[in-house]
Chains A and B, each alone.
Chain A
Amino acid sequence: MKKKSSNIKKTRVWIWLIPSFSLLIFVGVIPFFIVLSLSFMDYFMLYPNIPRVFVGLKNFKYLVFDPWMFTSLAISFIFTGVAVSLELLIGLGLALLLSRPVKGITIYRTLILAPMVIAPLVVGLIWMQMLNPEFGIITYFLHKLGLFIETGPTISAALPSVIIMDIWHWTPFTTLIILAGILSLPKEPFEAALIDGASKWQVFRHITVPLIRYPILVAFLLRFMEAFKIFDEIWLLTGGGPGDATRVASIHAYKISFYRWDLGYGSAICIFLEYIVIILCVIFYNLLRRK
């Protein structure tokens, strides 16, 4: 069998890769090098007559000391940190509930997935209506309950609103992955623990959690990468505002590039964001391989 596969010459293996790799080079690698080269240039789209000039690391130097960039990164990390950790906590709780073998549980397991597949923009649209300060349904019921909390795109409420929206949207994702981990657990350690007279909390803390650490970590990394590059929902719900309240990194890069038309500096921000994600991606990949 080994012989047969080694009969294939190296060149013929590459034929199998040609379709995908020619595509990826055209739509992935070339665009990447365009951004990379632009990030070393001064390039304002507003003045097309001014030639692009090579400025070396100027854009990156500016990036490091730009307080605006720092604010936007901080918002991104606050948003990602709070949203993702809450999604994991709620997801873990829900997965534990959904793992009980009670009647009709499969219906719950199925229906609870729905938000995850809805287009981010439509999610933004739904919450934009529900959180509207004047006629939003959530605002209305909060006021009925005597809670006069600001909702929607106001300075103090914008970031929490966006986080709540993200939790609604993506908790099904973490639940699904953690639930898959719980359902594939072996029975023996639990039986042994029961015989030894361990309490429920002890079983959960010392057996369940260590055994489902891997799916939790996978869910965390995938969610972190996605949440870090969020754009659509926030764009519709708050547009990155008011002020800079929800100006996450993607929105910042977009506004610098297509509102100020500073494509050089915009590209530098993009390259910076790309490398943050790639580092996370490397961690994810090593985790996968060690498994």
Chain B
Amino acid sequence: MSQTSPKSKIMLKKISIYIPLTIVLFITLFPIIWLSLMSLKTRVDIFTLPPPLFFKITLDNYISAFIEKGYFKYLINSLIVALSTTVLAIAAGSITAYAFSKFKGFLADNHLFFWILTFRMSPEVIFIIPYYLLWTILGLYDTHLSLILSHTTFTLPIVIWLMKGFFDDIPKDVEEAALLDGCSWFSVFRRISLPLATPGLMTSAILSFLFSWNEFFIAMVITRINAKTLPAAITGFITTRGILWGEMAAVGVVVMIPVLILIFLIQKYLVRGLTFGAVQ
């Protein structure tokens, strides 16, 4: 059709796609850029209206937040908690996912599989009260361990659901050949299936990390000083004497950047990961 129409009509058609897309892209990216700029401004520049197009770029906010106010410790806490949660969920979850994928004869009842998902879907608020009481009684309040375990409630279902889908995709012949050669199921899992499901491992690991890294509600309630993560610590800049916008923006940028990079690594599997395999 378009071959017969004049060139200007094609141009017009293209413009009618690019213009709305560019507007949407601007709306999408502006707040992110705005936060990044804010973290590089002096306190005076943050409050200047209209916002100055050119301003003195300063790293004072980062230095003040991470070195003077000790937020570097919370950054380390965030890393410890998110990485441990991911490792724990992958280690336990991939084994279980494999069982659900391969031993269907014994796990025929899918209700068990569904039941696992309900933990991921539950409102965080339902776990706030019991975690607060449980970790206090066990003497684990405000420790890394308690936060890691709490986050695992939500990341383990992600790993189990995703990994099962990826294990389902592995052709049966490969595993059966190895089984006939006398390998045990566990060595088939470790040597053959797990390497074949590497994209699944990557996806579920990154989505687990993402959840734990971004999580605020639970971290706010069950930590105080020692195990506080960055998102939970951000609210510390809202003081009775006003809000420290610059420092807050600096910490916000540090929370934001790693996940923006990570997510592009698994873009291909993102839909599958976020919908628990419902849309591929």
Residues of A bordering B, CB below 8 Å: 1, 4-6, 8, 10, 13, 16-17, 19-21, 23-24, 26-28, 30-32, 34-35, 38, 94, 97-98, 100, 102, 108, 110-122, 125-127, 129-130, 135, 137, 140, 168, 172-173, 176-177, 180-181, 184, 214-215, 218-219, 222, 225, 228-229, 231-232, 235-236, 249-250, 253-254, 257-258, 263, 266-267, 270-271, 273-274, 277-278, 280-282, 284-285, 287-289, 291
Contacts and interface: CB of A to CB of B under 8 A. Distances in A.
B35 A126 contact: yes
Contacts of B93: 20
11 contacts: A16-B103, A19-B96, A35-B126, A98-B21, A112-B28, A115-B28, A122-B231, A125-B249, A273-B125, A288-B278, A291-B278
B274 A27 contact: no
A267 to B, nearest CB: 6
A165 B18 CA distance: 24
Given A16-B98, A31-B134, A119 B255 contact: yes
Given A16-B103, A31-B130, A229-B124, A137 B21 contact: no
Contacts of B170: none
Contacts of B125: 229, 231, 249-250, 253-254, 270, 273
Contacts of A19: 91-92, 95-96
B202 interface: no
A285 B117 contact: yes
B156 to A, nearest CB: 6
Given A5-B102, A125-B252, 18 more contacts: A8-B106, A28-B119, A31-B130, A34-B129, A38-B130, A98-B21, A111-B29, A114-B28, A115-B32, A118-B32, A129-B34, A129-B35, A135-B47, A140-B49, A168-B28, A225-B121, A257-B129, A285-B114
A102 B14 contact: yes
A30 B130 contact: yes
Contact of A117 (B38, B179, B185, B210): B210
Interface of B: 14, 17-18, 20-21, 24-25, 27-29, 31-32, 34-35, 38, 46-47, 49-51, 88, 91-93, 95-96, 98-99, 102-103, 105-107, 110, 114, 116-119, 121-131, 133-134, 149-150, 152-153, 156, 160, 172, 176, 179-180, 185, 210, 213-214, 216-217, 221, 231, 234-235, 245, 248-249, 252, 255-256, 259-260, 262-264, 267, 270-271, 274-280
Contacts of A222: 274-275
